[in-house]
């Protein structure tokens, strides 16, 4: 499965008035201790005080924490598919990378975490790093990005299926959740406002209602393509376009190339990953395959080289999904496909 992937919690504030004390933008300020309770992916997460040794188990949650200026309160990160988001390099350099992929449970515990967060249910489930119960038994609150469970069934394995389309508000909600947990609510509000402004600017005046898109995450033998309703769906709907595989609710179904060629999308949105766990991870390898394979080389998008390259994180429900909207919108304008 892609596993860069691809989600909301209603925040209940216990002693809420205390949370507002010292929650400004000054990174030197330490908020007063206050318990926070989150309703998170069907579980109750209780954080007794703002974490000081957090471990983020996926790049998506890591980049939210770094964007909130929390590098000094992070004890480790793991599971990377791309270089860190531009502008976050300095903070990222301060945080130990305990594994490029899923770390062992023991390795995480070695970091002495007081809070763990993950982007995917599978990371904190059976077969992942450890279950949430395992962390909670040790007194370590465990949080999962709600975008990976809102309207989604992860019980069948793989990347899950969505009963309803995910919205960008799920990402904003995760930002606010983490800002609340760490006692930096104002920073979270500012980050969300910035993302909202970028979304509005990217989609202003765009009409791509006649454009069909296909999202290819990874693997050339059994390619993972985006279904209707995950992060690529957020991008597609924001631009008014159509995903040629909108008829599947699987998050990342594996689809044969004959079917892809038959649907012949106008534009190919291609994951440009730096990991090496699948075939054709980088955009360069994907394009080389498309332009040489007898089934795909005659597709309209391939013949006209209508490619938009995205990081793996932009193709997941993360703050970089906004970057995905920006890049796809710019590509459609560049190709002259928007009204």
Element (H, E) at 63: helix 59-67
3-state secondary structure of 64: helix
Q: Pick the closest to residue 86 from 270, 313, 271 (CA basis).
A: 313
Residue 267 belongs to a domain: yes
- Residue 180 CA to residue 328 CA, distance in Å, equals 32
- Of 183, 199, 215, the residue that ends a domain is 199
Same domain, 143 and 235: no
**How many domains is the chain built from?**
2
Phi then psi for residue 259, to 5 deg, are -65, -40
- Of 199, 231, 259, the residue that ends a domain is 199
Residue 1 belongs to a domain: no
Same domain, 227 and 287: yes
Phi then psi for residue 193, to 5 deg, are -60, -40
- Residue 173 CA to residue 32 CA, distance in Å, equals 23
- pLDDT attached to residue 2: 56
User: In which domain, by residue range, is 218 found?
Assistant: 205-334
Per-residue pLDDT of the chain (339 residues; tens, 9 = 90+): 454 433 333 333 333 333 333 333 333 344 446 799 999 999 999 999 999 999 999 999 999 999 999 999 999 999 999 999 999 999 999 999 999 999 999 999 999 999 999 999 999 999 999 999 999 999 999 999 999 998 999 987 779 999 999 999 999 999 999 999 999 999 999 999 999 999 999 999 999 999 999 999 999 999 999 999 999 999 999 999 999 999 999 999 999 999 999 999 999 999 999 988 889 999 999 999 999 999 999 999 999 999 999 999 999 999 999 999 999 999 999 999 998
- Residue 75 CA to residue 332 CA, distance in Å, equals 41
Residue 110 belongs to a domain: yes
- Of 169, 199, 229, the residue that ends a domain is 199
Residue 39 belongs to a domain: yes
Same domain, 142 and 213: no
Residue 4 belongs to a domain: no
DSSP 159-194: T-EESS---THHHHHHHHHHHHHTT-HHHHHHHHHH
Same domain, 239 and 150: no
Residue 50 belongs to a domain: yes
**Per-residue tokens: 337:** 């496909």
Same domain, 40 and 100: yes
Do 15 and 35 contact (CB within 8 A), yes or no? yes
Q: Pick the closest to residue 310 from 278, 339, 286, 335 (CA basis).
A: 286
Domain at 305, CATH number? 3.40.50.1980
- pLDDT attached to residue 33: 60
| Whole-Å CA distances, 253 to 208, 225, 233, 246, 323 | 24, 6, 14, 11, 23
- Residue 134 CA to residue 104 CA, distance in Å, equals 13
Same domain, 175 and 33: yes
Residue 224 belongs to a domain: yes
Residue 193 belongs to a domain: yes
Same domain, 226 and 267: yes
Q: Position of tokens 């402004």?
A: 197
């Amino acid at each position: 499965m892609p596993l860069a992937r691809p989600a909301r919690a209603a925040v209940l504030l216990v002693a809420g008035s205390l949370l507002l004390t010292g929650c400004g933008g000054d990174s030197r300020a330490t908020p007063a201790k206050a318990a926070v309770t989150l309703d998170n992916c069907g579980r109750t997460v209780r954080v007794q005080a703002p974490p000081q040794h957090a471990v983020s188990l996926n790049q998506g949650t890591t980049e939210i924490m770094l964007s909130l200026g929390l590098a000094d309160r992070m004890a480790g990160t793991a599971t990377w598919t791309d270089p860190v988001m531009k502008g976050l390099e300095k903070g990222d350099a301060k945080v130990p990378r305990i594994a490029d992929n899923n770390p062992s449970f023991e390795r995480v515990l070695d970091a002495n975490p007081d809070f763990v967060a993950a982007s995917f249910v599978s990371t904190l489930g059976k077969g992942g790093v450890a279950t949430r119960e395992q962390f909670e038994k040790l007194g370590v609150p465990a949080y999962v990005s709600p975008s990976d469970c809102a309207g989604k069934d992860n019980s069948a394995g793989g990347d899950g299926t969505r009963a309803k389309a995910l919205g960008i508000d799920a990402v904003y909600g995760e930002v606010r959740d983490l800002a609340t947990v760490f006692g930096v609510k104002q920073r979270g509000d500012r980050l969300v406002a910035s993302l909202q402004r970028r979304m509005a600017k990217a989609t202003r005046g765009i009409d791509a209602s006649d454009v069909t898109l296909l999202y290819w995450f990874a693997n050339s033998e059994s390619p993972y393509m985006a279904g209707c309703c995950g992060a690529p769906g957020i991008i597609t709907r924001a631009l008014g376009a159509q995903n040629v595989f909108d008829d599947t609710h699987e998050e990342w179904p594996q689809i044969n190339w004959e079917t892809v060629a038959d649907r012949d999308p106008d534009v190919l949105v291609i994951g440009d990953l730096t990991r090496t766990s699948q075939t054709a991870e980088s955009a360069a390898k994907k394009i080389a395959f498309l332009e040489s394979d007898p089934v795909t080389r005659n597709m309209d998008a391939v013949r006209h080289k209508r490619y938009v390259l995205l990081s793996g994180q932009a193709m997941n429900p993360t703050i970089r999904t906004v970057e995905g909207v920006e890049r796809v919108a710019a590509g459609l304008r560049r190709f002259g496909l928007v009204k």
